[in-house]
């Protein structure tokens, strides 16, 4: 394998034209779409239209005339196509953190009725911290114990006394991909409900919530959905629970008739009761462009074709690391079936500085502190090329061979590291 082989793979790639749907900086190899997705070409124009026309000229009437009021459901329906949910089952709202609070509270309320003797919530210590902070808060307030496992293999032994099993489908550090269908089936067989965080899987791997018979799910708008920095997030609830779930952040937009302005809360039908405050119109409009861009892949083989390319990219990355970078350990699963859309590496020392040195060379991955510290490289098959992987590894080899990473300027941490 040499660089020309990588170029040839790109030339033969039927998904290659999709890269033109993004505005990417020219000299950057961007391998951080799992943290913040790139800017779709359509977004700037659409956001400008929302700001200058819909807001500036339409003003308050745009809630009706520009259909702002149904944006959470309209974009939710588009996201549904990416995560194996039905139409009318998904809404866009708030942030991942707040949505975790809502769905976990819903699941706990159902568990409290159906199996009040179950007093633990189970998650992984390696789950994304915000999920754990939120779960910890809710468990404390509701008298549950949050039990964190260090390995997925410990989960089964806890299920008989578990109220809710809360997992992130793809681990943010390692890219480990749970088998949602089998884990959910096992949880149900043993009487536990499931809450799935799709932050690193929605848009990155094919998700099939209905097929897996999951209970509740949430996910992020600004990673593989390319919704922009701090984009609103989404929620899904299984049709099985939709008639009975409640949630504590019961703001007016989740009311059955918000503009009746009645002092008593009456929840909206279905998933819309997860709405709380006034929808973030500009943010949801930007997210819609990101989701549309992903859906454009449907004409090129869809999520399955994206998944195959993603696996080919991370496999190539792993092969090149194996042959050219003996000082690095691959922290992501080598089994395709268990690997999300990223490759994570660790090394003896200097992970942070190595990431900084790569950034100076135009290769943008990121650093995640922990044991071990991680160099994280996300691939987004919509715009990542095979040659990007080849070049990124080549730069990493240079950073190491030249001891570039030891330069003092790479050791000063920014606010966001």
28 assigned to a ligand binding site: no
Nearest to 377 by CA among 302, 303, 325: 325
The one catalytic residue in 223, 273, 339, 385 is: 223
Respond yes or no: is residue 367 known to be catalytic: no
Respond yes or no: is residue 197 known to be catalytic: yes
130 assigned to a ligand binding site: yes
Please say whether the dihedral angle defined by the alpha carbons of residues 123, 128, 129 and 135, taken in this order, is positive or negative. Answer: negative
Contacting residue, 82, 187, 204, 284, with a second copy by CB under 8 A: 284
| 41: Cβ contacts below 8 Å, ≥ 6 apart | 20, 21, 22, 23, 293
Respond yes or no: is residue 222 known to be catalytic: yes
Q: Is 249 in the site for a second copy (CB under 8 A)?
A: yes
Pick out residues in 42-61 that bind a second copy (CB under 8 A).
43-44, 47-48, 51-52, 54-57, 59-61
| CB nearer to a second copy: pick between 207 and 233 | 233
Q: Are 233 and 99 in contact (CB under 8 A)?
A: yes
Site string for a second copy, 345-374 (x = CB under 8 A): --------------x----x-x-xxx----
Contacting residue, 153, 259, 326, 408, with a second copy by CB under 8 A: 259
| CB nearer to a second copy: pick between 262 and 323 | 262
Site string for a second copy, 127-166 (x = CB under 8 A): xxxx-xxx-xxx--x------x------------------
Question: Can you tell me the distance from the alpha carbon of 237 to that of 251, in angstroms, rounded to the nearest whole number?
Answer: 18
> How many residues lie near a second copy (CB under 8 A)?
90
| CB nearer to a second copy: pick between 134 and 214 | 134
Q: Widest CA span of the chain, in angstroms?
A: 69
Contacting residue, 114, 160, 260, 403, with a second copy by CB under 8 A: 260
Respond yes or no: is residue 101 known to be catalytic: no
Select from 189-197, 281-289, 313-321, 331-339 the region that touches a second copy (CB under 8 A). 281-289
329 assigned to a ligand binding site: no
Taking the complex as a whole, the smallest distance from the CB of residue 14 to a second copy amounts, in Å, to: 26
The CA-CA-CA angle for residues 123, 105, 268, to 5°, reads: 140
Select from 186-194, 237-245, 259-267, 396-404 the region that touches a second copy (CB under 8 A). 259-267
Site string for a second copy, 100-119 (x = CB under 8 A): -x------------------
Q: Is 203 in the site for a second copy (CB under 8 A)?
A: no
Contacting residue, 42, 121, 253, 313, with a second copy by CB under 8 A: 253
131 assigned to a ligand binding site: yes
Taking the complex as a whole, the smallest distance from the CB of residue 342 to a second copy amounts, in Å, to: 14
The one catalytic residue in 222, 317, 352, 386 is: 222
Backbone angles phi, psi at 234, to 5 degrees: -135, 165
Select from 28-36, 318-326, 331-339, 395-403 the region that touches a second copy (CB under 8 A). 28-36
Question: Can you tell me the distance from the alpha carbon of 233 to that of 254, in angstroms, rounded to the nearest whole number?
Answer: 16
From residue 26, alpha-carbon distances to 23, 30, 307, 404 in Å are 9, 10, 25, 23
Backbone angles phi, psi at 40, to 5 degrees: -65, 145
Q: Is 95 in the site for a second copy (CB under 8 A)?
A: yes
Catalytic positions, written as ranges: 128, 197, 222-223, 376
- Binding-site residues sit at 96-97, 128-131, 168, 197, 200, 222, 252, 278
């Amino acid at each position: 394998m040499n660089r020309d082989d990588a170029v040839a793979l790109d030339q033969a790639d039927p998904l290659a034209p999709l890269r033109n749907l993004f505005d990417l900086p020219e000299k950057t190899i961007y391998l951080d779409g799992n943290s913040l997705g790139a800017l779709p070409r359509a977004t700037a124009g659409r956001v400008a239209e929302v700001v200058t026309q819909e807001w500036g000229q339409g003003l308050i009437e745009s809630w009706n005339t520009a259909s702002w009021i149904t944006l959470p459901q309209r974009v939710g329906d588009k996201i549904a196509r990416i995560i194996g949910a039905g139409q009318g089952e998904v809404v866009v709202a708030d942030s991942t953190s707040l949505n975790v609070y809502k769905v976990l509270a819903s699941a706990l309320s159902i568990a409290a009725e159906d199996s009040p003797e179950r007093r633990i919530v189970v998650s992984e210590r390696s789950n994304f911290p915000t999920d754990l902070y939120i779960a910890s808060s809710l468990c404390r307030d509701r008298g549950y114990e949050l039990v964190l496992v260090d390995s997925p293999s410990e989960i089964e032994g806890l299920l008989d006394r578990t109220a809710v099993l809360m997992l992130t489908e793809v681990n943010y550090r390692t890219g480990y991909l749970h088998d949602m269908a089998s884990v959910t089936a096992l949880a149900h067989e043993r009487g536990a409900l499931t809450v799935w965080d799709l932050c690193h899987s929605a848009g990155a791997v094919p998700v099939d919530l209905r097929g897996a018979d999951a209970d509740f799910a949430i996910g992020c708008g600004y990673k593989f959905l390319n919704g922009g920095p701090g984009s609103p997030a989404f929620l899904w609830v299984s049709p099985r629970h939709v008639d009975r779930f409640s949630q504590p952040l019961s703001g007016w937009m989740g009311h059955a008739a918000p503009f009746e302005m009645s002092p008593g809360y009456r929840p909206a039908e279905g998933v819309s009761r997860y709405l709380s405050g006034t929808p973030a119109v500009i943010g949801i409009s930007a997210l819609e462009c990101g989701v549309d861009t992903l859906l454009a892949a449907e004409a090129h083989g869809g999520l399955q074709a994206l998944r195959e390319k993603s696996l080919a990219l991370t496999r190539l990355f792993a092969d090149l690391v194996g042959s050219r970078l003996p000082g690095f350990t691959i922290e992501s699963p080598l089994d395709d079936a268990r690997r999300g859309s990223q490759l994570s590496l660790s090394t003896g020392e200097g992970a942070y500085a190595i990431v900084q040195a790569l950034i100076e060379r135009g290769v943008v991955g990121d650093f995640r502190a922990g044991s071990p510290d991680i160099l994280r490289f996300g691939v987004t098959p919509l715009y990542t090329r095979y040659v990007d992987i080849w070049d990124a590894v080549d730069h990493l080899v240079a950073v190491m061979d030249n001891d570039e990473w030891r330069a003092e300027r790479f050791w000063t941490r920014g606010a966001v590291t």
